Amino acid sequence: MTEKIKNILYLGKDEKFAHSLKRMMQLYRQDFRLHVNTSLNQLPQTLEGKLYDAILFDTQFLSDDGQALLHQIYRLAAKFPVIFIVDKNNETVGRQAMENGVFDYLIKVDGVLTALPFTVERALEHRPTSLQLSTVSQEDEKVEPETGFFEINEHGRIIFFDDNFEKMLGLSHRELYQSYIS
C-alpha cells in the first residue's frame, strides 16, 4: 500500500537551505514533497488554490515591514500545521508565533535539518481531521489501558499474579503457576 503524498511548502529566502531541506525530506520519507517559494512576489500565487499538508516558514523571509505577512501566516495556521524556522537570536518570534496558533518552531542551528522531518511528521499526526473531530465519543475517550501484575522467581517461574494478568493472557490459575518466563 502506498502512502498518500504529503505536500509541504517551504517559504524562505535561503535557497541553499531549501535545497538541503528538500534532500533531507526525500531521504527521510518518500511521501514528502517539498515545494519551495523563495520570492515574496510569488507568495500570493503559491498560496492561492493549492492545498498543502504543512508549511515551513523561515523567518528570514520577513522584511522590515513583515507584520502583514506574519498575520497572513497566522491565518494559515488555522488550516495547516505551520512550523516556524527562526534564527538563534530571534527566538521570541517563534514563541510569539506559537501563541498565535503556529504548531511549533525550530531554531536554525546545526542539526535543524535532521529535526525538521520529525517535526513535520508529528505536526501531520496531530493535525485534526474532520473524521477525528466528528466520530469520537466520550466512551471512546475513556479507554483505560489493560495492566496486570506478576512476579517471577530467579528461575523464571511465575509465583504471583493478579486477576488482570490472568484475563490478559487468557490462561487459568493452574496454567500460569506452571508457566516459566524465559
Q: Over the stretch 82-120, which tens digit does the pLDDT of each residue have?
A: 888 998 888 888 888 888 888 888 888 888 888 888 888
All domains of the chain in start order, with CATH: 6-129 (3.40.50.2300), 142-182 (no CATH)
Backbone angles phi, psi at 23, to 5 degrees: -65, -40
Q: Using an 8 Å Cβ cutoff, are 79 and 52 in contact?
A: no
pLDDT band at 137 (very low <50, low <70, confident <90, very high): very low
- Whether pTM > 0.95 for this model: the answer is no
Residues 6+ apart with CB under 8 A from 78: 101
pLDDT band at 133 (very low <50, low <70, confident <90, very high): very low
Alpha-helical runs (H) found in 7-146 = 15-28, 43-47, 67-76, 91-99, 112-126, 130-135, 138-141
Of residues 56 and 78, more confidence is placed in 56
